[in-house]
């Protein structure tokens, strides 16, 4: 019978891959907790409108990449392609718009139908943070500082650069949009087909085009800096001062954009050259209109997301798996005592495994195979005296020890 394979664009997390993955999520969860962020878990699938409203019907994610399906009741559901919209929906659903600020951390699988490539899968995983409620640039700086500290705690901040831009307020963006439309209309025939389609609907997204022909034209496009209102400029200046206060270095990049109208002010990406073309490892921005898109009141918010797979690839090494202790009973009369000792070790926080079968030699071979630090050998005679032989498998040293003293002794292993 043919062996079944994982679906294209998915993979199993086993051994070192799983340890890398768990280390990224656990580290991010710990640092987010220090910043006062609570973890939320939202459903893996949502009403399709949660994402069509938030990502825009004309976006590539909605038009080409979402896993959407009709359930048996005829409702259109979608496997979540990102986490921010679901968090905003949960905020409204659970009546939390009157209990602000909300500082939310999340981690979990996302789904997009796109071409699998290095560090990118159709089922992928993200960590993310959303700071909902504050309208001040200090909040943006704190959210960005959280991302920087997570990268630092993972040991991957070296070679990662924060790139920063402003999208201004609505008045600034409308003036900039009009200037972009005028600029690109003059060179419309030179644009790619995708960019020509975007020209009327969403001209800001032309700035994101990967087409070489478009990029030359984008380089000549007007920048938002010339269109910032006094209040938008004040926010931009305040953000940069706040980042300096947090000790977060940055590089201004006027080509970072977000194409939807509810994005405003801050847009940023942490980028690296260590992943080739897929250089963004953590990115986000301010989205003051998204909660209203979910049916709530106008609510300011700032957030970011990062791909766990990409962060895992940047780790120098996977964390070591905890080394177990092997319990080796010799004779049927020692098995009950071995089980009691196993549970006592586990209660003391010691990873412990039993060698179930074979003679003593085979059981000791298994202890070495699983990478055990120590083997505890219990014969019937030792059990009768309330002791066991504790062997350090690295040095070969062996001592006799009282059974009730063993868990505390081995819990202190380095």
Mean pLDDT of 397-402: 94
**pLDDT at site 362:** 87
Tell me how far apart the terminal alpha carbons of the chain are, to the nearest angstrom: 47
Mean pLDDT of 22-36: 98
* CA separation, residue 23 to residues 208, 313, 319 (Å): 32, 12, 7
Q: How many domains is the chain partitioned into structurally?
A: 2
Dump strand ranges (E) for 178-333.
251-252, 264-272, 280-286, 301-307, 325-330
**pLDDT at site 270:** 97
Q: Return the closest-CA partner of residue 297 out of 41, 97, 119.
A: 97
Count of CB atoms within 10 A of residue 356's CB?
11
Residue 43 has pLDDT above 90, yes or no: yes
Is the pLDDT higher at 368 or at 232?
A: 232
Q: Return the closest-CA partner of residue 144 out of 306, 307, 253.
A: 306
Task: Please give the residue range of the domain that contains residue 392.
Answer: 325-411
Quick check: is 203 in a domain?
A: no
Residue 58 has pLDDT above 60, yes or no: no
**Largest interatomic CA distance in the chain:** 94
89 and 163 within one domain = yes
305 and 330 within one domain = no
Q: Are 351 and 323 in contact (CB under 8 A)?
A: yes
pLDDT tens string 115-174: 877 667 999 999 999 999 999 999 999 999 999 999 999 999 998 999 999 999 989 988
- Residue in the structure block whose two tokens are 């405003």: 264
158 and 106 within one domain = yes
Dump strand ranges (E) for 133-222.
160-166
Indicate which CATH number applies to the domain containing 402: 3.40.50.800
Q: Which of 268, 294, 314 is the last residue of a domain?
A: 314
Residue 242 has pLDDT above 90, yes or no: yes
Rounded Cα gap, residues 51 and 54, in angstroms: 5
pTM across the whole model: 0.89
Is the pLDDT higher at 291 or at 357?
A: 291
Quick check: is 219 in a domain?
A: no
* Cβ neighbours for 10, distance < 8 A, ≥ 6 positions apart: 121, 122, 123
307 and 331 within one domain = no
**pLDDT at site 209:** 75
pLDDT tens string 323-334: 999 999 988 888
Quick check: is 190 in a domain?
A: no
Indicate which CATH number applies to the domain containing 243: 3.30.930.10
Residue 321 has pLDDT above 60, yes or no: yes
292 and 372 within one domain = no
Is the pLDDT higher at 183 or at 349?
A: 349
Rounded Cα gap, residues 6 and 13, in angstroms: 12
Quick check: is 156 in a domain?
A: yes
40 and 75 within one domain = yes
Q: Are 164 and 266 in contact (CB under 8 A)?
A: yes
148 and 32 within one domain = yes
**pLDDT at site 340:** 95
Is the pLDDT higher at 338 or at 189?
A: 338
* Cβ neighbours for 135, distance < 8 A, ≥ 6 positions apart: 288, 300
Question: How would residue 377 be classed by pLDDT, with cut points 50, 70 and 90?
Answer: very high
Quick check: is 74 in a domain?
A: yes
Quick check: is 218 in a domain?
A: no
Q: Are 181 and 199 in contact (CB under 8 A)?
A: yes
Question: How would residue 259 be classed by pLDDT, with cut points 50, 70 and 90?
Answer: low
Question: How would residue 359 be classed by pLDDT, with cut points 50, 70 and 90?
Answer: confident
Rounded Cα gap, residues 339 and 250, in angstroms: 57
Question: How would residue 275 be classed by pLDDT, with cut points 50, 70 and 90?
Answer: confident
Quick check: is 151 in a domain?
A: yes
Is the pLDDT higher at 259 or at 289?
A: 289
263 and 117 within one domain = yes
Q: Which of 290, 314, 338 is the last residue of a domain?
A: 314
60 and 119 within one domain = yes
351 and 387 within one domain = yes
256 and 405 within one domain = no
**pLDDT at site 220:** 82
260 and 375 within one domain = no
Q: Is the previous residue joined to 269 through a cis bond, with omega within 30 degrees of 0? A: no
Q: Are 303 and 140 in contact (CB under 8 A)?
A: no
Q: Which of 283, 314, 345 is the last residue of a domain?
A: 314
Is the pLDDT higher at 143 or at 208?
A: 143
Mean pLDDT of 330-342: 90
Quick check: is 217 in a domain?
A: no
How do beta strands 387-392 and 374-379 pair?
antiparallel
């Amino acid at each position: 019978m043919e062996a079944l394979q994982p679906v294209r664009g998915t993979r199993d997390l086993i051994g070192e891959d799983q340890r890398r993955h768990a280390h990224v999520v656990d580290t991010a969860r710990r640092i987010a907790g220090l910043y006062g962020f609570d973890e939320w878990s939202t459903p893996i699938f949502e009403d399709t409108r949660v994402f069509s409203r938030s990502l825009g019907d004309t976006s590539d994610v909605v038009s080409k990449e979402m896993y959407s399906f009709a359930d048996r009741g005829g409702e259109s559901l979608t496997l979540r392609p990102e986490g921010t919209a679901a968090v905003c929906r949960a905020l409204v659903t659970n009546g939390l718009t009157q209990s602000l600020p909300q500082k939310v951390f999340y981690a979990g699988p996302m789904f997009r139908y796109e071409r699998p490539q290095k560090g990118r899968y159709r089922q992928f995983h993200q960590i993310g943070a959303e700071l909902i409620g504050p309208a001040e640039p200090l909040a943006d700086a704190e959210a960005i500082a959280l991302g920087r500290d997570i990268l630092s705690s993972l040991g991957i901040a070296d070679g990662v650069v924060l790139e920063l831009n402003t999208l201004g307020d609505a008045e600034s963006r409308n003036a900039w949009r009009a200037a972009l439309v005028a600029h690109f209309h003059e060179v419309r025939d030179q644009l790619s087909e995708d960019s020509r389609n975007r020209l009327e609907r969403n001209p800001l997204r032309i700035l994101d085009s990967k087409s070489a022909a478009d990029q030359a034209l984008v380089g000549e496009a007007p920048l938002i800096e010339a269109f910032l209102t006094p209040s938008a400029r004040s926010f931009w200046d305040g953000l940069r001062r706040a980042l300096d206060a947090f000790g977060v270095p940055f590089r201004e990049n006027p080509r970072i954009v977000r194409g939807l109208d509810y994005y405003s002010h801050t847009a940023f990406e942490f980028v690296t050259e260590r992943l080739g073309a897929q250089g963004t490892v953590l990115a986000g921005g301010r989205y003051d209109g998204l909660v209203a898109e979910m049916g709530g009141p106008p609510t300011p918010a700032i957030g970011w997301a990062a791909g766990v797979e990409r962060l895992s690839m940047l780790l120098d090494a996977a964390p070591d798996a905890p080394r177990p202790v092997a319990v080796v009973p010799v004779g049927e009369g020692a098995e009950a005592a071995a089980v009691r000792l196993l549970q006592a070790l586990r209660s003391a926080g010691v990873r412990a495994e039993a060698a179930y079968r074979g003679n003593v030699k085979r059981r000791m071979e298994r202890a070495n195979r699983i990478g055990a630090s120590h083997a505890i050998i219990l014969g019937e005679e030792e059990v009768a005296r309330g002791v066991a032989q504790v062997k350090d498998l690295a040095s070969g040293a062996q001592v006799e020890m009282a059974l009730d003293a063993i868990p505390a002794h081995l819990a202190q292993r380095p």
